Structure formats: structure tokens, C-alpha cells
Amino acid sequence: MVNTNTKNHSTKPIHAKKSFIGQTSKSENLAGKETVKFVPLGGLEEIGRNMSMLEYKNEIIIFDMGLQFPEEDTPGIDYIIPNINSLIPKKKNIRAVIITHGHYDHIGAIPYLIDKLGPHIPIYTAALTKEIIKRRQDDFPKASKLIINVIKGGDKVKLSENFEAEFFETEHTIPDSISTVIKTPIGNMAYFSDIKINYDLEGNPQDLDVFEKIASKKIHTLFLESTRAEAPGKSLSEKVVEKNIDELIGKANGRIVIGLFASLLTRIEPILRIAEKHGKKVFLSGLSLKTNVNIAQNLGYIKASKGLIVPLEELHKYKDDKILVLSTGAQGEPKASLMKIANGENKYLTIKNGDTIIFSASVIPGNEKPIQTLKDNLTRQGARVIQTQHIDVHASGHGPSEDLKTIIKMTKPKYFIPIHGMYFMRAANVENAKEAGVKAENCFLIDNGQIIEIRENEIKISQESVPAYYVMVDGLGVGDVEEVVVRDRMLLAQEGMAVIIVTLDVRTGQLIKSPDIISRGFIYLKENKLIVEELRKKIKMLIGRIPNRSQSLDPDYVKTILRDQVGQFLYNKTKRRPMILPVVIEV
């Protein structure tokens, strides 16, 4: 039976989650045995805010510091970041931070967290990731200067007295993605974040020797991403994607706009080559895209002929059949470049008949509606919209089940812990591991904040846990928006509010004037005059019934009466529960 735990440690706003009952491994007294603890602080119950740690005695190694983008039930929130309350008292024990690659769900929380843990902590990552981190730090003028050590595949680094890391280059959608083997006192652990296997046009896997090298380290525990663990089959070859994009560009008569992620550098490089082959000029739309391409060019990951990439403001100088625009915003983000183009808010480019729009990106769950709206808007303006449902123009950077099973078979771990994904994704990855030869009792499903104790010959899920609930970034505030605030925002969005203003004589407690009523998002007052008049009568009656009128009234008492009674009255009339905000003015 797969090992799970009955506790639900990572409390998220709004959601009520199920607990899953299972059993842990050997329950006998394990005191005195060498133990390495693994603690996920984020990324195991969502897509994003990836951050985990390994701890042995007084030494801690951290993997990634990512952010999560807001959800439907976190209105007004900019980002969600990992909870480090448990780490702050131990910050002197942190020996290193390993950043696996340059995507924001793995680096985005660094500016918010690193100063709280200590900017002196050495960060180990590859060259491209280092530059992306540095550029992001520039957006935070008060942030400390980071100590970033550049590593590459094949490097070995002594992180502390008891931890040593060996780094391996593995396949993803951004260059310089690394996987790590950590040598610990109880055995070697492999940490694979976002990863896939690439294939050639004939479907033959490429560069599998890296997993053979890792297997030679005799892996005790494998931590493996799970984002597409339930998806059948193998990864689509990037060569197939390149071939299809090449054909589409060759056949298009007008302008071409390709929407993609700003970090999808492994695809941008071949698109540049294809554009040059067909005599196109390339224009970049989106600040993050320009920044990442510039960094990749400086490091030699992208090589573009002189004059191939042209500033967007010069687009009017070229004929339509010479124009290829790379744009961010394929997820329908309201402020991203592609949405601004579709809405006519880009001063250099507006959509017209004959344009071809290619969405070279997967649909992130939750973004379906914005993308549909974006596609509809583009099509109404005469553009031809192409997505991967029509022809393969995107390959995910997250390996599906056959990729993951191949990785597990080749690395031959004794124990398996799925990471990076929601519970159903990680549960699917356990099935992959079992099919790949890992014993069921050696697979462990845990949630954010749970502590797993790893020993040489056994693993146990601890009864202890650490805080892993959401920490929300809202404007300049970090962590100051609590669950109750988010709940209020949800209520306002769903039911609206009614403001009740009563003006009372401070000596007698008598109403001086008729109550004022303001509605926002609840009912339109001009069209509901009957309810408004009945409500005024109700308020006058409530004030009139308050006893001890010879003494000064307690405003808080009056507000409580109004909130409860007006709320019940409005529910009886409308079957809705708006937020009631009573205001008492004493004159």
C-alpha cells in the first residue's frame, strides 16, 4: 500500500480538502539512527511556489524558491509564496540554496524570502538562471546583493560537512535546467524538478546517458516531478514542433504572431533560424521576452544573425510577408502583450485580415476562459488562430507517464517521493514508479509541511509538521493579507455590500435624519425602491427599540444590532447575503 498520512498540514484559503488514510513504513522505535529530513514548503499541492529542504542535524539545504500565481479564490493577490516561518529560527543552519532552473515558479520568491533567511547564503545554479535571478532582483531596489555560484553539468560541490552535490544537465523548456544528486550520510538522493525526455523525429529518445550516470550513484531516494504524471505516452519531440512551425511560417502570406512563454528559450532559438530561412524579420513584444532573449544572446544560448531581430517600433517599415512577431501573453493574461495587441492597445501592432496567430504554449489549468476570449477577439479581427489542438506547435517541458517511468527505471531508486504537482498528479506518479519497479511500500505521498524522516533502510512520515499555509503578496504587503481578508473579497465579489449610515443625537440616541443606504454590487437602489423604503422603516424601528435612551448609546452595540438584523432582513427579501457595513454618526 502506498504510504500516506492522515493529517492535512497545508491550509489554503477557502478550500476544504480531504485527508487520505494510509500507513507509514516500519513503526518501531527508530531513535538513534542516522536521519535526513525532507520537508516540502510548497509545490506539492499546487502548480507553483516550489520550495523544499533537506535537513541533517544542524545543516539545511534548500531547493528552489518559487512563486505561485493567484487563483480564482485569491482575488486581488499578486503572488503566493512559500511559508518560511519554520526556517527563520534555523536560518543559521542553512548551508546552500540550489535553484534548478529559471522559471518563476522556482525562482520568483527569492526577492521576498532571501533577506529573511540571510543574503549571505550561497546560491548554486547555472549561468542562465543566475542572470534571470539578477534581473529580477533589479526590480527590488532594497533587496540585498546575492551570492550566486555558477555551476554546470558534471560539477561537484561540497555544500557542508555532510552534504555534497553533483549536478547534471537535464531536458526542459529552458536552457541550463539541472538535476541534482545529493550525497548524504544515509545515501545518495536524486532531486529532479521539471524534466522530460526529448526525442528525434523518429521517436528515438535522446541523451539518456545522463540517467545511466545518475544510476551509477546508487540512488537511495528519488524526488521526481509529477505535473503530467497521469498523461499517457511520451513527450512530443521538439523536432516535430519545429517542423510544423516551419511549415506554417512557409505557407503564411501575411504577418505571423507567435504567442509563447517568455522563458521558452529552447523554442525561440529554432524559431529565429526558421524565420531567417524564410526571409522574415523578427520583432519581440513583451518586456520579459526581450530581457530573456537578451540574456540568452549574451550567454551564447541564442545566436541570431545581425539585423534578424528588429525593434518593434520599426515594424511599419516592413511588408506584411516579412514580419514575424514573438509575443508573450499566450495564457490570456490581461496585461500581457498579446492581449494588448488584440485589444488595440499596442501602438505598433494591431490585428488585421490575413494575420496568422500561433499559440505555441500549453493551456495552464484555470486559464481556459481568458484564452477563449483572446482567441475570439483575434478571430473577429480577421486573424487565423492556430493552437496545438490543430497541429503540434507546442511540446510541454514536463514529461508524461512513459518519460517518467523511463527515468525511474534507469535511475533505479530504492525509495520514491513524487514532488511538484497536486495530489492526484503525485498519486499517478506513484503508479508510474510501481510500474517501473519500485516497491509500493517504498513510495511515499506527503503534503506541504509534512516531515519525512529518511534513514538508510527505512522511511517514516513524522507526526510533526511545519506551517505551509499560503503567504500572499498583495502590492507592497507580504503576508499581511490573511485568510479572512481573502474571504471578505470573495464575499464582496459574490454578494456585494450594503452600507447603512445612521445619524444619532448623542444625548438622546434619537435618529436625527432618515438612514442613508448605499449599495455596491448588491442591488440597484433606483430599481428597488420598495425594498429600500422597507429597510429604512426596519432601521428606524430597530433604533427606536433600543433601551436606556436617557444614556449615551454604545456605537458598537448599535452596529451589531444593525448588522445582524439588516442582514437577516435582506436575506429574507432577496435570498442573498451582502456584506453589511453599519456606520454610526453621533451628533
Query: Quick one: pLDDT at residue 366?
Result: 63
- Given a cut of 70, whether residue 224 has pLDDT beyond it is yes
Going from the C-alpha of 532 to that of each of 291, 315, 524, 538, 581, the distances in angstroms are 56, 57, 10, 10, 16
Measured from the Cβ of residue 291, the count of other Cβ atoms closer than 10 Å reads 17
- Given a cut of 60, whether residue 455 has pLDDT beyond it is yes
Measured from the Cβ of residue 200, the count of other Cβ atoms closer than 10 Å reads 12
Q: In what order do the strands lie in the sheet with 94-98?
A: 148-150, 123-125, 94-98, 59-63, 51-56, 36-42, 450-454, 459-465
3-state class (DSSP) for residue 583:
strand
pLDDT in tens, 197-209: 999 888 899 999 9
In angstroms, the CA 416 to CA 121 distance is: 29
pLDDT in tens, 552-562: 667 888 888 88
Query: Quick one: pLDDT at residue 549?
Result: 52
Residues 328/260, Cβ–Cβ less than 8 Å: yes
In angstroms, the CA 224 to CA 192 distance is: 5
**What count of residues does the chain have?**
587
Strands 516-520 and 497-504: antiparallel
Query: Quick one: pLDDT at residue 162?
Result: 96
Query: Quick one: pLDDT at residue 387?
Result: 85
Give the helix/strand (H/E) hosting 183. strand 178-184
- Which of 274, 293, 276, 275 has its CA nearest to residue 284? 293
Instruction: Tell me the CATH number for domain 37-233+396-478.
Output: 3.60.15.10
Query: Which amino acid is located at 185 in the chain?
Result: P
Query: Quick one: pLDDT at residue 561?
Result: 84
pLDDT in tens, 119-159: 899 999 999 999 999 999 988 888 888 999 999 999 999 99
Residues 462/39, Cβ–Cβ less than 8 Å: no
Query: Quick one: pLDDT at residue 470?
Result: 80
Instruction: Tell me the CATH number for domain 496-586.
Output: 3.10.20.580
Mean pLDDT throughout 246-256?
Answer: 92
- Given a cut of 80, whether residue 77 has pLDDT beyond it is no
**Fold topology of 238-386:** Rossmann fold (3.40.50)
What are the residue boundaries of the structural domains of the chain, listed by start? 37-233+396-478, 238-386, 496-586
Q: What is the DSSP letter of 180?
A: E
DSSP one-letter string for 497-545: EEEEEEEE-TTT--BSSPPEEEEESS--GGG-HHHHHHHHHHHHHHHHT
For residue 201, give every residue at least 6 positions away whose Cβ sits within 8 Å of its Cβ, in sequence order, or none: 237, 239, 240, 243
DSSP one-letter string for 230-290: TS-S-PPPHHHHHHHHHHHHHH--S-EEEE--TT-HHHHHHHHHHHHHTT-EEEEESHHHH
**Dihedral sign, Cα of residue 115, residue 120, residue 125, residue 127:** positive
Position with higher pLDDT, 185 vs 578? 185
Measured from the Cβ of residue 522, the count of other Cβ atoms closer than 10 Å reads 21
pLDDT in tens, 333-346: 778 899 999 988 88
Beta bridge partners of 120: none
Which residue's C-alpha cell is 527505471?
Answer: 409
Mean pLDDT throughout 71-92?
Answer: 80
Query: Quick one: pLDDT at residue 18?
Result: 35
Query: Quick one: pLDDT at residue 483?
Result: 58
Beta bridge partners of 97: 62, 123
Residues 263/103, Cβ–Cβ less than 8 Å: yes
In angstroms, the CA 449 to CA 451 distance is: 6
- Which of 284, 282, 288, 283 has its CA nearest to residue 262? 288
For the chain, the average pLDDT equals 86
Query: Quick one: pLDDT at residue 260?
Result: 92
- Given a cut of 60, whether residue 480 has pLDDT beyond it is no
For residue 96, give every residue at least 6 positions away whose Cβ sits within 8 Å of its Cβ, in sequence order, or none: 61, 62, 121, 122, 123, 124, 157, 159, 160, 163, 165
Output the pTM of the full model.
0.80
- Which of 97, 117, 110 has its CA nearest to residue 140? 110
Q: Give the number of C-alpha atoms closer than 13 A to the C-alpha of residue 323, restricted to the C-beta side.
A: 26
pLDDT in tens, 279-335: 999 999 999 999 999 999 999 999 999 999 999 999 999 999 999 999 998 888 778
- Which of 394, 46, 420, 431 has its CA nearest to residue 235? 394
In angstroms, the CA 179 to CA 152 distance is: 10
The grid coordinates listed for 270 are: 529554432
- Which of 393, 438, 387 has its CA nearest to residue 415? 438
- Given a cut of 90, whether residue 475 has pLDDT beyond it is no
- Given a cut of 50, whether residue 170 has pLDDT beyond it is yes
- Given a cut of 50, whether residue 237 has pLDDT beyond it is yes
Can you say whether residue 91 is alpha, beta or left, with left for phi > 0 and alpha for psi between -120 and 50 degrees? alpha
User: 150-159, 220-229, 376-385 — which is least confidently predicted?
Assistant: 376-385
Mean pLDDT throughout 91-106?
Answer: 96
- Given a cut of 80, whether residue 30 has pLDDT beyond it is no
